[in-house]
A and B are shown apart, each in its own frame.
Chain A
């Protein structure tokens, strides 16, 4: 899934959707992943980096990723169309 183009994120994990006025606070991990998504990195690429950087199994990461995408969808932060992502 692709992050909406105009979503503003900051290094400290703050997320602002200028189309709705919604804002969210994320942790450092959220900030890191959002930045990668904004830079157009693929799901596979982001997961690869996370697996290298953190002690987490691929299965656990897949489950967490699904949760993450659900949260982004609920927050209306994703484009309606899918791209990539593998």
Chain B
């Protein structure tokens, strides 16, 4: 596909919740706009009426609500077919962990109606799941903090006896709390079980420097792009609010080891803690681009653009360089919109 053809594309993007725990959608769109220039269309795919990206008219041409993942693949496919009939989507880039299962299942059907994706397989998705992460690391030679799956408060007791305090209590899909005593661990367990379901995960607390790596796997065991970022400012939800690209061959090697072990296809993020002995612990592996993905474009490796090209069948060479010392500093911004816009997306599911 030529550059001109890319500029005629229509791309569906989820994850428009640019809030204090942001989805990656707006950052993905920003990177695409920088890479593709004017002409192509972005269709926002949202779950809730207050996702800020819906109202960013310079970023999103039109938004449609889509059914929650719990409604299943049939409902999602029906809705996507409706949207496709109106917008002629060429690609969809899903950006939420919880929706990936459905999108992966639907990928062949979407391909049949002309919508491409570039996603991992269900097996790849499961192998890095929080529930399986420790076993995956053990099998493939990665440092992973010890963990326990929690289904009851008795499990919390057993886990904390073994892991000690502080301990990290994590939701199945999102959210994590550092608990310094048993009461706090039980409170976090109850809250996370209620929000995200079972199991809740108790993970060994590793003290060190937090580093994230955004990477793009080609599905054959190689990475096309790897950009590591050191967190400089971390919110109370553990999210990077500022960060800086860094250069470290050990981090690049770690991402390559992961791609080789999994043959990962698509974007992913390794959440790393470097301890005092320089060991690189993988705390989590997110199966999609992170919210800070625009930094990869700013540093010279536009991963969302590369993903679209790979989904089009283009063979890309691996990026070899990026700029270390490129910072992002996130900020919040009060968008003002008319109530009629809110009414339209709420009542009609389109804006």
Which residues of A come within 8 Å of B, CB atoms? 6, 8, 16, 18-21, 23
- The A interface is mostly helix, strand or loop, or mixed, namely loop
Q: Determine if B247 and A19 form an interchain contact, defined as CB atoms under 8 angstroms apart.
A: yes
B338 within 8 A of A: no
| Binary contact track B227-246/A, C-beta < 8 Å → 1, others 0 | 00110100000000001101
Bound: A76/B229 CA distance, A: 18
Bound: A19/B249 CA distance, A: 9
- CB-CB under 8 A from B248, the residues of chain A are 19-20
Nearest CB in chain B to that of A21: its residue: B230
- CB-CB under 8 A from A18, the residues of chain B are 246-247, 324-325
Q: Determine if B325 and A20 form an interchain contact, defined as CB atoms under 8 angstroms apart.
A: no
11 contacts between A and B (CB under 8 A): A6-B324, A18-B246, A18-B324, A18-B325, A20-B209, A20-B230, A20-B246, A20-B248, A21-B211, A21-B243, A21-B246
Nearest CB in chain B to that of A23: its residue: B244
Which residues of B come within 8 Å of A, CB atoms? 209, 211, 229-230, 232, 243-244, 246-248, 324-325
- Shortest A82–chain B CB gap in Å is 20
Q: Determine if B247 and A16 form an interchain contact, defined as CB atoms under 8 angstroms apart.
A: no
Bound: A80/B83 CA distance, A: 59
Given pairs A19-B247, A20-B230, A21-B243, 7 additional interface contacts (CB within 8 A): A6-B324, A8-B325, A16-B325, A18-B246, A18-B325, A19-B246, A21-B246
Question: Which of B229, B232, B244 gathers most chain A CB within 10 Å?
Answer: B244
- Shortest B55–chain A CB gap in Å is 34
Q: Closest 6 CB pairs between A and B?
A: A21-B230, A18-B324, A21-B246, A21-B244, A18-B247, A19-B248
- Shortest B70–chain A CB gap in Å is 39
Nearest CB in chain B to that of A8: its residue: B325
- Shortest A8–chain B CB gap in Å is 7
Nearest CB in chain A to that of B211: its residue: A21
- CB-CB under 8 A from B211, the residues of chain A are 21
Bound: A68/B243 CA distance, A: 28
- Shortest A46–chain B CB gap in Å is 26
- CB-CB under 8 A from B244, the residues of chain A are 21, 23
- CB-CB under 8 A from B324, the residues of chain A are 6, 18
- CB-CB under 8 A from A20, the residues of chain B are 209, 230, 246, 248
- Shortest A47–chain B CB gap in Å is 31
- Shortest A63–chain B CB gap in Å is 29
- Shortest A51–chain B CB gap in Å is 34
- CB-CB under 8 A from B229, the residues of chain A are 21
- Shortest B294–chain A CB gap in Å is 18
- CB-CB under 8 A from A23, the residues of chain B are 244
- Shortest A4–chain B CB gap in Å is 12
- CB-CB under 8 A from A19, the residues of chain B are 246-248
- CB-CB under 8 A from A6, the residues of chain B are 247, 324
Nearest CB in chain A to that of B274: its residue: A20
